[in-house]
Chains A and B, each alone.
Chain A
Amino acid sequence: MKTKNALAIALSLLAALAVAIGAGAEATPAQTAGPAKGKMPGKVILGTLADRYRPVAFDHAKHVGMAGSCAECHHQHEGDRALTCTGCHRMDAAVFRKNVDLARIRPCGGCHPAKDNPGNPGMPTLKAAYHRACIQCHRDVGSVGKDPKGCTETCHESGALARAK
């Protein structure tokens, strides 16, 4: 998924989606996804944090194919995070591996707080979590992460929204 091909695909897809900064909550699965238990979201509108830019239309389904593993973004297993196994898995040891409860995989906002929390500086805010997750792969696309204008190349629309308010 980190090949140039994949990145080119990602770029074109995302450009088509006209994703905006907003970096809102993925907690609101969009119309197409449907909150059916055990189903991954399709398109997700990330809008709860939208400030300078319009909400981001994130095509979750497209990224699933490219990411290789859910843990690329849903990094619950990383390090020594204190999450319970049953948060995502039904604990039937016999079929444990095949038994991930997709409906219970946490969206970014499930752990990352929307507001700044000086009391826990080790936990990135939701805004930071979104940007890190996206830029981790997209930083090599165009000038994303290389100059201030790269923001609007792949994800964000222009800043007209906030200034209009």
Chain B
Amino acid sequence: MEKPEKGAGGGRSRDARGEAGATVNRRDFLRVVAVAGGAAFLGTAADAEALYDLSGWPDRMGMLTDLTECVGCRSCEAACNAANRLPAPEVPFDEKSVFEQKRRPTANAYTVVNRYEPPKSGNPVYRKVQCNHCEEPSCAAACPVRAYTKTPEGAVLYDKDVCFGCRYCMVACPFYAPAYDYESALEPRVVKCTMCHGRVKAGGVPACAGACPMGAVVFGKRKELLSVARDRIRKHPDRYVDRIYGEVEAGGTSWMYLSGVPFGELDFPTKLPGKPIVENTKGFLSAVPLVLTLWPALLGMCYAANRNKEEKE
């Protein structure tokens, strides 16, 4: 928010400071304008800030997937299918032929496991894919109708009742997590992992974590998982690459990963910024309502003043 504004917005801010007094910073100015102008639009700017601040939720939960433990049994897929009452898959969950191609989560499978055979790894490496439940989700930022909510439990939830199907979230997600239910003609919706929010609220663990025979998917407080992950890397530096994927990627995710091979070899996006993707646009977008409401007024005043002058002449 504090970054210098570009273009028209910046010019506007400087003008504003002149009017409102040099000691007023931009954020205060926004608030003043919001009240004075009664611009309901500006609510979005204020909320964008709130979305970023997770300090009030120190106990939010997360997941840790240890890719060195996963043996590709697909128990997590089966458990997810059952817990979410999804239709039976075309091929059974103990079928290995699915590994012949890389899959993405779909409307009927909130999580999928893909197999990789990195050159330096003796055993194949299996990667479980699902929504990573970002700390500051870009799907939520992109959604025009606020169908996405970051919950205090850590999960990012989707509300199909407000969604009107623009699918901006699918474009915005750096992990290609949200899927679209193309099968349903009357009530199409976006679908994705919910981190079993209902089960968690009831004191349980997400279905995939409960089903994993290897403890490769573990549920717990995010901060504790981070310390567990750091501990494992410290104790077994030969087993893990020195990186916890999801600690900072895209501003941090609830779902984090440990791996024995570089994450790039497992199709993880490795060039994501270490800050929320929302930051790229937040400054600009929060200035839009301001520009839209104030510029017409100011330009109109200029026009009126000049016209009066012309008339006098």
Contact A118 B69 (CB under 8 A): no
| Bitwise interface map of B from 78 to 98 toward A, beta carbon under 8 Å scored 1, else 0 | 000000000000000111100
B173 beta carbon closer than 8 Å to chain A: no
* Nearest neighbor of B228 in chain A, beta-carbon distance: A122
B124 lies within 8 A of A121 (CB):
no
Stretch touching chain B among A1-9, A24-32, A147-155: A147-155
Contact A146 B124 (CB under 8 A): yes
B145 at the interface (CB under 8 A from A): no
Chain A residues within 8 Å of B205, by CB: 116, 118
B231 in contact (CB, < 8 A): yes
Asked whether A132 lies within 8 Å of B72 as measured between CB atoms, the reply is no
* CB under 8 Å from chain B, chain A span 33-53: none
Point out the residues of chain B lying under 8 angstroms from A119, CB to CB: 220
Q: Which of A119, A128, A129, A148 has the most CB of B within 10 A?
A: A148
Is A121 a contact partner of B74 (Cβ separation < 8 A)? no
- The answer, yes or no, to whether B294 is at the interface (CB within 8 Å) is no
The reply to whether B225 and A121 form a contact with Cβ atoms under 8 Å apart is: yes
Q: Is the CB of B69 within 8 A of A132?
A: yes
A80: min CB distance to chain B, Å: 10
- Residues B64 and A121 in contact, CB atoms below 8 Å apart: yes
Task: Point out which of A116, A121, A129 has the most chain B C-beta atoms below 10 A from its C-beta.
Answer: A121
Chain A contact residues: helix, strand, loop or mixed: loop
Cβ of A135 within 8 Å of any chain B Cβ, yes or no, is yes
Q: Which residues of B contact A146 (CB under 8 A)?
A: 71-72, 123-124
Q: Are A79 and B213 within 8 A (Cβ)?
A: no
Question: Does A142 interact with chain B (Cβ within 8 Å)?
Answer: no
A125 at interface (Cβ–Cβ under 8 A)?
yes
* B61 at interface by CB-CB < 8 Å: yes
Q: B217-237: which have CB < 8 Å to A?
A: 218-221, 224-225, 227-228, 231, 235
Residues of B within 8 A of A132 (CB): 69, 214-215
Q: Bound complex: CA of A28 vs CA of B205, how far in Å?
A: 28
A interface residues, how many (CB within 8 angstroms)? 26
Min CB distance, B202 to chain A, in Å? 12
CA distance A79 to B231 in the complex (A): 10
Q: Are B218 and A135 in contact (CB under 8 A)?
A: no
Within the complex, which residue of B72, B210, B218, B228 is in contact with A148, where a contact is CB–CB below 8 Å?
B72
| B140 proximity list for chain A (CB < 8 A) | none
- Min C-beta distance of A58 to chain B, whole Å: 16
Question: Which residues of the partner chain A approach B225 to less than 8 Å between Cβ atoms?
Answer: 121
Task: Check A135–B71 contact: CB distance below 8 A.
Answer: yes
Given A116-B219, A139-B71, A148-B74, are A131 and B93 also a contact pair (CB < 8 Å)? no
Cβ A122 vs Cβ B96 within 8 A = no
Is A109 close to B, CB under 8 A? no
Q: In the complex the two chains form, is B72's CB within 8 Å of A131's CB?
A: no
Report if B99 contacts A (CB, 8 A).
Answer: yes
Is B220 in contact with A145, judged by CB distance below 8 angstroms? Answer: no
Q: Are A145 and B123 in contact (CB under 8 A)?
A: yes
Of the candidates A129, A131, A145, A147, the one whose C-beta lies within 8 Å of that of B99 is A147
Q: Which of A120, A135, A145, A149 contacts B96 (CB 8 A)?
A: A149
Residue of A nearest to B74 (CB): A148
Cα–Cα, bound, A132→B212 (Å): 11
Q: By the criterion CB–CB under 8 Å, are A127 and B96 in contact?
A: no
A118 CA to B210 CA in the complex, in Å? 10
Interface membership of B73, Cβ < 8 A: yes
- State which residues 41-67 of B face A: CB under 8 Å: 61, 64
When the two chains form their complex, are residues B224 and A122 in contact, meaning their CB atoms are under 8 A apart?
A: yes
Give the residue of B94, B95, B214, B220 whose beta carbon is less than 8 angstroms from that of A135: B214
Chain A residues within an 8 Å CB radius of B231: 122
Q: How far is the CA of A132 from the CA of B70 in the complex (A)?
A: 10
User: Nearest chain A CB to B184's CB is how many angstroms away?
Assistant: 30
Identify the 7 closest CB pairs spanning chains A and B, nearest first. A128-B215, A121-B220, A145-B71, A147-B96, A124-B215, A122-B228, A116-B205
Q: A121-B219, A145-B71 are in contact. List 15 more A-B contacts (CB 8 A).
A: A116-B209, A122-B224, A127-B215, A128-B214, A131-B213, A131-B215, A132-B69, A132-B215, A139-B71, A139-B123, A145-B123, A146-B71, A147-B72, A148-B74, A148-B94
Q: Write 6 A-B pairs (CB below 8 A) sorted by A numbering.
A: A116-B209, A118-B205, A120-B220, A121-B64, A121-B221, A132-B215
